[in-house]
Each structure stands twice: as structure tokens, then as C-alpha cells.
A and B are shown apart, each in its own frame.
Chain A
Amino acid sequence: MTAPPLAARRKPPRKTLARIVYHAVMLTVSAIFLLPFYWMVISAFKNNAEIFARPMLWFPDPIRWENVADLFTRPDFPFLQQFLNSCFYAGMVAVGTCLSCSLAAYSFGCLRWRGRNFVFGLTICALLIPPIVTFLPVFLGWSKLGLKDSYWPLIAPYFLGDAFYIFMLRQFFLGVPRELMDAARLDGASEFRIWWQIVLPQVKSALVIVGLFAFVYTWHEFFTPLIYLQNREDFPLSVGLFTFRSQRAAEWSMAMMGATFTALPLLVLFLFTQRFFRQGLATKGF
């Protein structure tokens, strides 16, 4: 049983088999995960009859491109307006979160002051409180101010801070070397300047991560806009799509087209910024 040297250098057949099995399993699992996306998109380009046709159509035939135009021009579904609302809502929250949370995270991560650990402890506790527990009084407060039916209650709080992102950003701020700040202090730089010119550039990618996560989560946000907003023209996409579906339950292809375009901006954003998402996840797991 003396194998020629060439064959010896090749991988043993058992290993090759194991690899094939491995990839077969993983590709099957991947297909299962992708199936909902695939079904959403192909159904968006069918009409209702074709969606429920037997035998099942695994590819739309014909491809109904007019469904796209339909989605953006329907009088009973101001999709474009709602799309812009979502962009505004998620964009503003992302900006507000980056600003406010980098202030607080800098304070918790880099500055020493009495009561800091106590306040940070409270922040961790706030993280664990279900949002609904504080929701009702806040809702009543905004109603009293007459700002209920606006984006103020949805956006303004993020300009003050958010426990989750402060926690996340602090992890990054802890990594900024203290010598850097002390040196700037000796040079007479103000604390604000140190934050803005010395520390923030050090955690740039962390800010991008926080901005991206804030954008995605706000795009997903459903409960808060559902409660606060009244008019169809003011809804973000999540609530708009939900309302459309509850009024037009039979129009599956339009619902699928709406679902596709609701998810699409996030998928595109993700494909261009993947490495930030991966980094963000790494900090999420402590």
C-alpha cells in the first residue's frame, strides 16, 4: 500500500466527502433562510391569480414590472410619501443618537466624576426595562403638550440619549488611551475640544456602527409611530404597510411589492456597510 507521492499530497477522500456534506448542509440551510426573500420578490412581480396558481409558479411569468409603478402611484397607499417619512425618521434618529450618545458615552468612558458609576448603573437598568412600562405616561405627556400627532415624540428623545447605544459606544470609548486626553489637557484644550477633536476621530467607526444600527432599528420601529401618528400621509413605511394590508387583505402582490421596497433600502445599506455591522455585533456580545 505505498501510495505515490502525488496522491499522498492530495486530501484524503474522507475529508473531501466531509467537505461536500458540510457545504450541502450549509447551502440547504441558506436556501431555507433565503426562501422568504425569494418568495416575496417573485410574488411582487405576479398578479394575485398567479400567486395562487396551481401548479405553483417558481418564477413570475410574465414579470409584471407595472406592479412597481403601481406601488408608487396608488392613491390609497401614499407609498412614496411614507418612504420619505421613513428616511426622515430613521435619518434624524441616527443623527440624534450619534450626537447625544457620544457625549454621554465619553463622559462614562473617559471622564472621572462623582456619581458616574451610579448613573451608569441606572443606564444599564434602563436597558432592561420593557419600553411599554414607561410608554403610557410619556404618551400622556406628549399629548398634553399638543405634540402627539407629530414626529417630535418619535425623534426628540434620541437627541438626549439612548441606553443601548450609550452602552455600546462606551465600550469603544474605554479603548481610547487616556494619555491622549491628558496631553491635550496639559496643552490647555477645553473638554469640549478634546471630545470633538481628539476623542471622536478615534472612535469614528464606532459612530458609524451606532448610526447604522439606529437607522435600521428606527426603520423597523412599529409600535411608537402606530400609537402617535394619525394620518396615512404621516406614517413611516412599517405602519403604512400594516395599514394597507389590514384594509386590502386580498391584494397580495401589492403587499409583497410594498414589503420588498420596505426591506430594500436596508438590504442595500447593509451590503455597502457589512464590515461595520459585523464589528457592531462583536461588541454586542460583550
Chain B
Amino acid sequence: MNIVVCGKVIPASSVTIEIDASTKRMLRKGVTHELDPAAASAMEEGLRLTEKHGGTVTLITMGISDVTIGIRNALAMGAASAVHIHDDAVAGSDTLATAKLLAAAIKKQPFDLVICATESSDSYSGIVPGQIAHFLGVPPVTFAKEITTDGNTITIKRQSESGYDVVVATLPALVACSSGINEPRYPQLKGIMAAKKKEIKVYSAADLGLSPDQVGEKGAREKVLTIGRPPKREAGKAVVDEGEGGKQIADFLAEIKVI
């Protein structure tokens, strides 16, 4: 079973995000990056399926050169190879252009299943997987909290407002998995050493058949007009518990007339 995992490498959770005032985009250059935990879960799911059914996992990501560290991490987890869409022209791409680029890169190899996270941990739009599925012409099965396959079809438990739905799709398909679907493995020393020898293919937008005006800032339909810190919610009272914390909350509840 050939599996492609699409995942993002993002500024590490310890990094305070700054915005470039002229482009109104997140500053990513020179910032410590890591494989998005949501992407690590998608990788883990792919690895578990190939361990059971055979085949390999390829990671596809897009980003600046700083993302290599996250690609190496995915390779160390067990991805057989990786594809890096690396091109200054793609900076500022919106979801649609991102999906077009990823779909074009996926099509360059045989695949039975594409696995994505439901949403990245740095921008949360959550619509790229569905867009990719459309461009690939495969069924999207989203919000998966459990994935099983018999080689011809894939069955998922799809999160719903009131529980879950059992959804079956024929392969090839695209699955977007929800957070908490698994606990991603930590790369072991052997994997880390092996990762150094694995191939990372690099593609530009042109390699993927997309012209510079279809991607990046130029191709974006969504344009950010303003960006800034929201007005701060007025800080309330805070106390350190010195044995009366519970009673102080009760006093506060009385003050706002809840009790």
C-alpha cells in the first residue's frame, strides 16, 4: 500500500509568532521549526497501516529551507522518502494554491491513500485536505478518529457532533485524521541515522506545472487587509491560594450574584 502523508512543518510551539508588517504574513525565516504535531499523527497513522499491510510512506510538505528539520524528523519516524515543495514563488499561497501544489506533487507518484491532518496547528483553516481530494479526484473522508483498511476500501470512524459515523470509501482515497487519533512515535537513533541517507526530492511550482501567477501572493484569492493584536480582555483579579482559594471563588460568585 503506497501512502502519501501531507503535513506541515511549522514554527515550534515555544516560538512567539511575529508578523511581518509589510506582507502581513507570519515571520517564518530563521525561526526554530518542528514537524506539526498534527502532521506527526498523520505520519504515525500511515506508518501503522504500512506496518500491517506493507508498502511505504512518503511525506510531502511545502515551505522554506527552515522546514528541513521537520522533514528529517518524519524520515526518522519511518517515512521512506520525502518531497519538499520549495520555491520563493509559493510564499503567501492561500489554501487553494497550496492544495493545487500538493495535489500536483502527490500525482507524481503512485498512491493508494493520502493522509492529512484535519488542520495544521498554526493556521487551522481545515479546508486543504478537501481541496486536495477534489484535485486528485478521490473521495475525501475527514475527521477520522480511527482508520482501518482491507486493501480495497478504507473504513473510518468519523467524528460527529453527537458521537461518530462509520464511513466506508473505496481506494484510492484521502483521509484527514483528527487530533488524538494516536500517540506519534519518537524517532529512535537507528531511524535518525537512516534518515540522513533518505532522499528528499525538491520541486518548484514550475516542476509541478503551476505558473508563478497561480501560486503565492499573486495567485491568492484571500487577501489580508489588516492584522493586529486584539484589544486585551481586561485582566481580572488573581489570587494565590493560601488555603482560602475555594472560599474566595465563592465570594466572587456572590459578588457577581451567581449565588
Q: Do A and B come from one complex?
A: no
List the interface of chain B (C-beta within 8 A of A). Answer: none
